[in-house]
Structure 1
Amino acid sequence: MQRYETTSVQNITQQYVHWFRHSAPYINAHRNKTLVLMFGGEAVQHPNFQHIIHDIALLHSLGIRLILVHGARPQINQNLQEKQIETPIHLHRRVTTRESLACVMNAVGSIRLEIEALLSMGLANSPMFGARIDVVSGNFVTAKPYGIRDGVDFQLTGEVRAIDTDAIQRHLDNHNIVVLGPTGYSTTGEVFNLLAEEVATKTATALHADKLIFLGKKQGLLSDQGKLLRELTPQQLEPYIKHFQQLDHEMALHLQGAQTASLSGVHRVHLISYAYDGALIEELFTRDGIGTMITDAHYEDVRTATIQDVGGLINLLRPLEEEGILVYRSRERLESEISQFAVIERDGMILACAALYPIPTAKNEIRSAEIACVAVDPAYRKSNRGSQILHFLEEKARQEGILQLFVLTTRTAHWFLEHGFQTASVDDLPSARQELYNYQRNSLVFKKILM
Structure 2
Amino acid sequence: MDTAFPFADWFRNSSPYIDAHRGRTFVILVESEALADHEQSSLIQDLALLHTLGVRLVLVFGVRESTAQALSVAGIVPRRHQQQVVIDDAAMAVIEREIARLRLLIEARLSPGLPNSPLHGMEINALSGNLVMARPVGIRDGVDFQHAGEVRRVRASAIRGLLEQQAVVILPPLGYSSTGEVFDLDAAEVARETAIALEADKLILLGHAAGLHDARGRLCHQLTPGEANALEESVNPPAELRRHLHIACEAARQGVGRTHLVSWQDRDALLGELFTRDGVGTMITRERYEQVRPARLEDIGGLLALLQPLEARGVLVTRSRERLEQDIEDYIVIERDGMVIGCAALHPFSEAGSGELACVVVHDNYRGGDRGNLLLSAIEREARRQGLSELFALTTHTAHWFFEHGFVEGEVSTLPERRRVSWNPQRNSRVLVRPL
Q: TM-score, normalised by structure 2?
A: 0.63
Contact 2:128–2:171 (8 Å) recurs in 1: yes
Shift of 1:90: 3.5
2:188 corresponds in structure 1 to 197
Contact 1:268–1:294 (8 Å) recurs in 2: yes
1:313 corresponds in structure 2 to none
Q: Which has the larger radius of gyration?
A: 1
1:272 aligned to 235, 258, 262, which one? 262
2:148 corresponds in structure 1 to 157
Contact 2:78–2:86 (8 Å) recurs in 1: yes
1:98 aligned to 89, 97, 100, which one? 89
Q: Separation in 2 of the partners of 1:18 and 1:75?
A: 39
Secondary structure at 1:288 match in 2: coil
Contact 1:140–1:164 (8 Å) recurs in 2: yes
Contact 2:252–2:287 (8 Å) recurs in 1: no
1:119 corresponds in structure 2 to 110
Secondary structure at 1:47 match in 2: helix
Shift of 1:173: 0.1
RMSD: 1.9
Q: Separation in 2 of the partners of 1:146 and 1:168?
A: 25
Secondary structure at 2:78 match in 1: coil
Aligned residue type for 1:125: N
Following superposition of structure 1 onto structure 2, how do residues 134-213 of structure 1 map, counting pairs within 5 Å?
134-213=125-204
Note if 1:70 corresponds to 2:61.
yes
Q: Separation in 2 of the partners of 1:93 and 1:35?
A: 29
Contact 2:131–2:155 (8 Å) recurs in 1: yes
Contact 1:244–1:252 (8 Å) recurs in 2: no
How has the CA–CA distance of structure 1 residues 110 and 241 changed in structure 2, closer, same or farther, with 3 Å as cutoff? farther
Secondary structure at 1:132 match in 2: coil
Note if 1:133 corresponds to 2:130.
no
Q: Separation in 1 of the partners of 2:175 and 2:211?
A: 29
Q: Size of the alignment, in residue pairs?
A: 288
Q: Separation in 1 of the partners of 2:234 and 2:137?
A: 25
Note if 1:11 corresponds to 2:3.
yes
2:39 aligned to 3, 24, 48, which one? 48
Aligned residue type for 1:210: D
How has the CA–CA distance of structure 1 residues 251 and 64 changed in structure 2, closer, same or farther, with 3 Å as cutoff? same
Note if 1:285 corresponds to 2:275.
yes
Q: Separation in 1 of the partners of 2:120 and 2:79?
A: 45
Shift of 1:243: 6.7
Shift of 1:242: 5.3
Where in structure 2 are there 5+ consecutive unaligned residues? 289-436
Q: Separation in 1 of the partners of 2:203 and 2:164?
A: 19
Secondary structure at 2:192 match in 1: helix
Deviations 1:175-195 (A, max 9, x none): 000000111111111111100
Contact 2:253–2:287 (8 Å) recurs in 1: no
Following superposition of structure 1 onto structure 2, how do residues 362-373 of structure 1 map, counting pairs within 5 Å?
none
Shift of 1:239: 3.6
Contact 1:244–1:251 (8 Å) recurs in 2: no
Q: Separation in 1 of the partners of 2:4 and 2:286?
A: 38
Q: Separation in 2 of the partners of 1:270 and 1:151?
A: 39
Deviations 1:95-122 (A, max 9, x none): 1112211001000110000000000122
How has the CA–CA distance of structure 1 residues 11 and 271 changed in structure 2, closer, same or farther, with 3 Å as cutoff? same
Q: Separation in 1 of the partners of 2:123 and 2:14?
A: 24
Contact 2:22–2:53 (8 Å) recurs in 1: yes
Q: Separation in 1 of the partners of 2:30 and 2:235?
A: 18
Percent identity, aligned pairs only, is 45
Following superposition of structure 1 onto structure 2, how do residues 187-266 of structure 1 map, counting pairs within 5 Å?
187-240=178-231, 248-266=238-256
1:370 corresponds in structure 2 to none
Contact 2:211–2:263 (8 Å) recurs in 1: yes
